[in-house]
Structure 1
């Protein structure tokens, strides 16, 4: 079963993760908010249920799983079915793009980034949020991946690897940030610069 089929078959279960781990989710959202532009035309690649696109004001979301897109549409996101490696949009269509916990699920991260660069206007911003493979949470996910419905076939990346992928795709990295120093925080965590401590890492780059 492909990753999109897994998410399509378990959409409600995945969407409920954000309710069960609400503080961690809000910590991630706060970290992303610092870098996602408030204006302009935005796209989330791998939008899932729209849990990030909707509160961050990103109008358009793409995902291969119809059941996930139904959640996104219910949250006011213009839901488009498609794949990250072959975006169904014209070149230079968006001012900014967001990718959250999606790199680990695609067949070709480099192709995703090439497509993101294609659909961004020159100078447009790409914001990526991901679980750092080298972090405590990343190592835990790897250790338990065989028993996980969602992460069984995921390929996690370290911050250094994501940086290399971005630069190889022609992006210029602007900033790094991190949160979830505690995997299950009791309060919303502040955003810290850099990476190496937090399990959830955000990187902002320009096309």
Structure 2
């Protein structure tokens, strides 16, 4: 199988990718706490696009999948049970997870709608999805767009706005959205953990939590 151009940088430069979280530790911790604010405290969890486990590990997410197999040894070392798999074809039965986490993955998958449908399938009715993302309309998103060709990881990424992600979530059966945001300054200027703010529009890193509709679960079981 030929390497996926969106995944290949993470295969070739996995150490450089993992080091980013240490080089920008205050921004990373700001993002981690924003995700923590919306993630359930208990239940069986899955991270789609687990990468090196920088979120799943400290947040206690038990399982993770990623197409970049070279990153999975890092995640395994951080206590996550991992599998090499495609986000659009999750290797799990229906309705087996209480929540799913997706952090800076939606911009790298080939079909975001198909990924969200798969997540809805493997979540129990009323289960939670939490998505962390770079806001295309925020300052960091604009910076990534203008300098995308210079960044080995983001040159093939597809960035989304909050409105676009909410529309995709609605279309794939999710409801009851809650948004929070953080990272309001350039990375080079972030030396302390930033506060979490509600809503969108001020932070470059957005997190949305939503629930899988119970009606969808009922249709699946009929």
Query: TM bucket by the smaller chain?
Result: over 0.9
TM-score w.r.t. structure 1 length? 0.98
TM-score w.r.t. structure 2 length? 0.92
Alignment-derived partner of residue 92 in structure 2: 89
| Alignment size in residue pairs | 207
Alignment-derived partner of residue 204 in structure 1: 209
Match of 1:113 among 116, 119, 126: 116
Q: Report the 3-state secondary structure (helix = DSSP H, G, I; strand = E; otherwise coil) of the residue aligned with 1:205.
A: strand
Contact 1:47-1:63 within 8 A present in 2 as well: yes
The answer to whether the aligner puts 1:98 opposite 2:101 as a matched pair is yes
1:72, distance to aligned residue in structure 2 (A): 0.4
The answer to whether the aligner puts 1:64 opposite 2:67 as a matched pair is yes
Give me the whole-angstrom Cα distance separating, in 2, the residues matched to 1:16 and 1:154. 20
Q: Report the 3-state secondary structure (helix = DSSP H, G, I; strand = E; otherwise coil) of the residue aligned with 1:166.
A: helix
Once superposed, which parts of structure 1, at least 4 consecutive aligned residues long, lie more than 6 Å away?
A: none
- Structure number with higher helix proportion: 2
Contact 1:173-1:203 within 8 A present in 2 as well: no
- CA deviations on 1:140-161 (whole Å, 9 max, x unpaired) are 0011111111001100001111
Give me the whole-angstrom Cα distance separating, in 1, the residues matched to 2:167 and 2:179. 14
What is the Cα-based RMSD across aligned positions, in Å? 0.8
Match of 1:44 among 44, 47, 54: 47
Alignment-derived partner of residue 169 in structure 2: 166
1:127, distance to aligned residue in structure 2 (A): 0.1
The answer to whether the aligner puts 1:75 opposite 2:78 as a matched pair is yes
The answer to whether the aligner puts 1:134 opposite 2:137 as a matched pair is yes
Give me the whole-angstrom Cα distance separating, in 2, the residues matched to 1:159 and 1:174. 11
1:174, distance to aligned residue in structure 2 (A): 2.7
